[in-house]
């Protein structure tokens, strides 16, 4: 069974279980709306959902690009210099020790209610997995390759860019795959704390007005967009990063 068929089968199973829970428990619609009502809401509110989804995806994509670039550079710096490792690694650990929910109000206070507070939150969430995965791959470079390059007189910079970085690209790809899944979390958390647009904001607005069907609709749209983005990044990584060529 290929990926698409498995995905469709899993979706159908979830819908069946969802509707079964409603039939067997008799739960009220304002607590758990039926799938048909959510689908109807998605269609009827498609313009509203599209407007807010565009904002959230802009935050996710910009944060993903900046966070991946920052993680790429940081990992190379960590692998190249013991001094940088001694200074930066504690910061990496600290960034994961502080709950992201605690940082969101501070970022909103500093950066305002616009895009940049959400983008910064996204960068903070994805920075560690990208940096950690790429750094680990850089440190596991085949020692025979490095030894041969040193015997041939290659400088540390040339060894890094022509041997270690190309060999570690699959590790960078693994970090990107994780980052794509985590990136929407940062954007949504930022929108929950303070925003006037975005799917996170729409979910809070719908919840406050007891429009549970709209809240579920926004959640499903977010999930679908995340899956599509992950699929696109995964295919890009398979074509460009998973088969590195050491020059």
- Position 11 pLDDT exceeds 80: yes
Q: How many domains does the chain have?
A: 2
Higher per-residue pLDDT: 151 or 95: 151
Check whether 242 has a pLDDT greater than 80.
no
Shared-domain flag, residues 100 and 14: no
Residue 143: CATH number of its domain: 1.10.3720.10
Domain of residue 159 covers 35-240
CA distance 136 to 21: 45
Q: In angstroms, what CA-CA distances link 125 with 67, 83, 117, 159, 183?
A: 9, 25, 13, 30, 7
**Per-residue pLDDT averaged across 151-165, rounded?**
90
Residues 214-222 have a mean pLDDT of 95
In-domain check, residue 246: no
Q: Does 213 score more than 60 pLDDT?
A: yes
Write down the pLDDT at residue 2: 64
CB-based contacts of 182-185 (< 8 A; 24+ apart in sequence): 182/125, 182/126, 182/129, 183/60, 183/63, 183/64, 183/67, 183/122, 183/125, 183/126, 184/56, 184/60, 184/222, 184/225, 184/226, 185/100, 185/125
Do 101 and 23 lie in a common domain? no
Average of per-residue pLDDT across 132-151: 90
Domain match, 114 and 95 both: yes
- 65 and 9 assigned to the same domain: no
Long-range Cβ contact pairs of 97-101 (< 8 A, separation 24 or more): 100/124, 100/125, 100/185, 100/186, 100/189, 101/189
């Amino acid at each position: 069974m290929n990926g698409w068929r498995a995905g469709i089968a899993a979706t159908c199973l979830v819908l069946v279980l969802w509707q079964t829970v409603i039939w067997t428990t008799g739960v009220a619609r304002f607590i758990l709306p039926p799938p048909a009502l959510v689908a109807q809401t998605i269609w009827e509110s498609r313009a509203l959902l599209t407007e807010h989804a565009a904002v959230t995806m802009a935050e996710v994509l910009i944060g993903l690009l900046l966070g991946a670039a920052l993680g790429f550079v940081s990992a190379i710096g960590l692998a190249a210099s013991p001094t940088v490792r001694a200074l930066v690694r504690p910061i990496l650990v600290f960034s994961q020790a502080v709950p992201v929910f605690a940082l969101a109000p501070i970022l909103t206070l500093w950066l305002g209610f616009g895009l940049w507070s959400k983008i910064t939150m996204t960068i903070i969430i994805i920075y560690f997995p990208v940096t950690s995965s790429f750094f680990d791959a850089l440190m596991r470079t085949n020692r025979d390759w490095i030894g041969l390059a040193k015997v041939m007189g290659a400088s540390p910079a040339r060894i890094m860019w022509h041997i270690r970085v190309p060999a570690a690209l699959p590790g960078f790809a693994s970090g990107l795959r994780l980052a794509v899944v985590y990136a929407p979390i940062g954007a949504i958390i930022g929108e929950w704390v303070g925003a006037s647009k975005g799917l996170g904001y729409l979910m809070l607005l719908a919840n406050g007005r007891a429009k549970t069907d709209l809240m579920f609709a926004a959640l499903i749209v977010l999930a679908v967009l995340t899956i599509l983005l992950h699929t696109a990044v995964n295919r890009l990584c398979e074509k460009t990063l998973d088969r590195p060529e050491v020059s």
